[in-house]
Amino acid sequence: MTGPQPCDLLVTGGALVTIDRGWNLYDPGYLAVKDGVIVGVGPAAQAGEWTAGRTLDAAGCLVMPGLVNTHTHLAMAAFRGALEDVENRLIQYIFPLEKALVTPDLVYRASRYALAEVALSGTTTFADMYYFEEEVARAAAEAGLRGLVGQTIVDFPAPDTQAPHGGLARGLALLDRWKDHPLITPVLAPHAPYTVDPGVLRTVAAESAARGLPWMMHVAETLPETRRFTASHGSVVKYLAAEGALGPGLVGAHLIYTDQADVELLKAHDVAVAHCPSANAKSGRPIAPIHRYLDAGLRVGLATDGPLSGNGLDLWGVVNWYPKLQKVLTGQRDKFTARDALRQATLGGAEVLGLGGVTGSLEVGKRADFLLADATAFNVQPVYDWYATAVYALRPQNVRHVVVDGRLVVEAGRMTGFDEAEVKADMVAIATRCRQTIAGFAP
């Protein structure tokens, strides 16, 4: 008989929700990590099979896969809470604000700031779309988070390129530069069907497919977009399908305005959905018909959208409300269970981003991306059902430790990857410049 096996990190005690195929839940459980990979998971009684360089005592905690945020714009944290409650916000206010302020330095510093909120609330994987995306990659690598960084492509001059769809060349360079990073997946991110030429979309799809990568785009998000393509092609999705730009590999953010024929097209092209219920509601848009996407077997993940839209990067607020909104939309209170919602906030999101084999569940062979949440807090107990607790009771405040790729990126509620005070001071300086710019927007 052999003795205990060595590992780097052993998490023992606590309730361990795996989100594996058999919905295994070990209470108490253990998790063993070696070289960033989960090498053991099971009942705590079996933890003795391992000796560890470091042990995390999870007594009183919920241990679960880290959350996966399938769509955001991290650097827009710089503008959070500005210019609220107005019509036509994006084109009238946000684009000019970005034109005036968005530099590589702002993107790096604001993304780094935003990543603190992401990590501290227990999100281990994110998908970003913005300008100067190499700066987002740099910030994420520094914070130690896993992410898709998507270079924005638009047909008009953008903060990071004067050339129409100059983001394509920038994006292809990004794909080359970051292709071998263990945490960062660089991708192309055309902005939307109404801001990018269909020929460019076909190029994006082809270049992405050649590299085995997904690509991301806002789809059927706004009413003007929907009216335009409904007039020409019956719907936004039908327009994309007709133009040969519905895949392969598309992660469509929002997908609010769709009909049943669209759902079938989305399924035929294996489009994945990044659902942003909080941001959509704040913009006064209808509840996206996620129930139809699920019925059709589409991959659906959850997302905060950018912190200007949401207005935060707290995915707990999204997973809490996503099932409620689908219950409202369908009137079926017994559907959209807490268990299914938690899967969508973790493994489901990973599958949307093409990372289902890498992260999203606690299983041997997967990268070690997980969180420990204090389950003894007043807002958490009593616990009768860990899925209901995670979905409806947990708040960011309950997250204590966060591990990505086997490394503690949040320890006892603090970022380990950078100096919190410095990152906060950066945002104060950015906000001062932003305030001055907004003051110039006098009506």
List binders of a copy of itself among 62-101 (CB under 8 A).
77-87, 89
CB of 114 to a copy of itself, least distance (A): 8
State which of residues 3, 182, 212, 382 lies at the interface with a copy of itself (CB under 8 A): 382
| Cβ(287)–Cβ(277) below 8 Å | yes
Which 152-191 positions form the footprint of a copy of itself (CB under 8 A)? Answer: none
If 0-12 CB within 10 Å is exposed, 13-18 middle and 19+ buried, where does residue 59 land? exposed
Specify the residue for token string 């995915």: 315
- By CB under 8 A, residue 227 contacts a copy of itself: no
Task: Report the residue number, 69 or 320, with the smaller CB distance to a copy of itself.
Answer: 320
Q: 27: burial class by Cβ within 10 Å (0-12, 13-18, 19+)?
A: middle
* 37: contact with a copy of itself by CB under 8 A: no
Q: Which position among 176, 385, 411, 422 is part of the footprint of a copy of itself (CB under 8 A)?
A: 385
Nearer to a copy of itself (CB atom), residue 187 or residue 315: 315
Cβ proximity to a copy of itself: between 231 and 421 the closer is: 421
User: Which CB atom, from 245 or from 399, has the smaller least distance to a copy of itself?
Assistant: 399
The three-state secondary structure class of 178 is: coil
Using CB under 8 A as the binding rule, whether residue 384 contacts a copy of itself is answered as yes
We find the least distance from the C-beta atom of residue 89 to a copy of itself, in angstroms, to be: 8
Exactly one of 48, 103, 435, 441 binds a copy of itself (CB under 8 A); that residue is 435
CA distance 151 to 254: 18
Kindly tell me the burial class for residue 247, based on how many C-beta atoms sit within 10 Å of its own C-beta (0-12, 13-18, 19 or more): buried
Residue 25 vs 388, nearer CB to a copy of itself? 388
State which residue, 63 or 246, has the beta carbon closest to a copy of itself. Answer: 63
Q: What is the DSSP letter of 307?
A: T
Min separation Cβ 39 and a copy of itself, Å:
32
Whether the CB-CB separation of 148 and 136 falls below 8 Å is answered with no
169 SS3 class: helix
Per DSSP, 164 falls in state T
Q: How many CB atoms lie within 10 A of CB 79?
A: 26
CB contact at 8 A, 387 and 345: no
324 binds a copy of itself (CB under 8 A): yes
Taking the complex as a whole, the smallest distance from the CB of residue 43 to a copy of itself amounts, in Å, to 20
Q: Does 388 bind a copy of itself (CB under 8 A)?
A: yes
Alpha carbon 116 to its chain's center: 14
Sole binder of a copy of itself in the list 95, 337, 356, 407 (CB under 8 A): 337
Contact 227, 263 (CB under 8 A): no
Q: What residues from 103 to 132 belong to the interface with a copy of itself (CB under 8 A)?
A: 113, 116-117, 120-121
* Cα(97)–Cα(248) distance, integer angstroms: 33
- 153 — phi, psi (to 5°)? -125, 125
Q: Which is nearer to a copy of itself, 182 or 331 (CB)?
A: 331
Pick from 334, 365, 412, 419: which binds a copy of itself (CB under 8 A)?
334
> Which stretch in 21-29, 99-107, 228-236, 421-429 sits in contact with a copy of itself by CB under 8 A?
421-429
Residue 395 lies near a copy of itself (rule: CB under 8 A): yes
- Note whether 214 and 354 are within 8 A (CB): yes
Identified binder of a copy of itself from the candidate list 392, 407, 416, 418, rule CB under 8 A: 392
Q: How far is the CB of 5 from a copy of itself (least distance, A)?
A: 35
User: Cα(269)–Cα(171) distance, rounded to whole angstroms?
Assistant: 23
Look at the block and give the residue holding tokens 């005592």. 57
Interface with a copy of itself includes 282 (CB under 8 A)? yes
Q: How far is the CB of 174 from a copy of itself (least distance, A)?
A: 26
Cβ nearer to a copy of itself, comparing 143 with 200: 143
Strand intervals (E) in 110-153:
123-130, 146-153
The burial class, CB within 10 Å (0-12 / 13-18 / 19+), for 28 is middle
Q: How far is the CB of 439 from a copy of itself (least distance, A)?
A: 11
Window contacting a copy of itself (CB under 8 A); options: 24-32, 193-201, 290-298, 433-441: 433-441
Beta-bridged to residue 186, according to DSSP, are 149
331 in contact with a copy of itself (CB under 8 A): yes
**Spatial distance between the Cα atoms of 232 and 238, rounded to a whole number of angstroms:** 9
Closest CA to 322 of 360, 286, 277, 283: 277
416 is a site residue for a copy of itself (CB under 8 A): no
Task: Kindly tell me which of 132 and 316 has the beta carbon lying closer to a copy of itself.
Answer: 316
What's the min distance (Å) between Cβ of 127 and a copy of itself? 20
CA distances from 347 to 59, 143, 212, 237, 350 (A): 24, 22, 20, 26, 5
Examine residue 378 and tell whether it contacts a copy of itself (CB under 8 A).
yes
Residue 242 lies near a copy of itself (rule: CB under 8 A): no
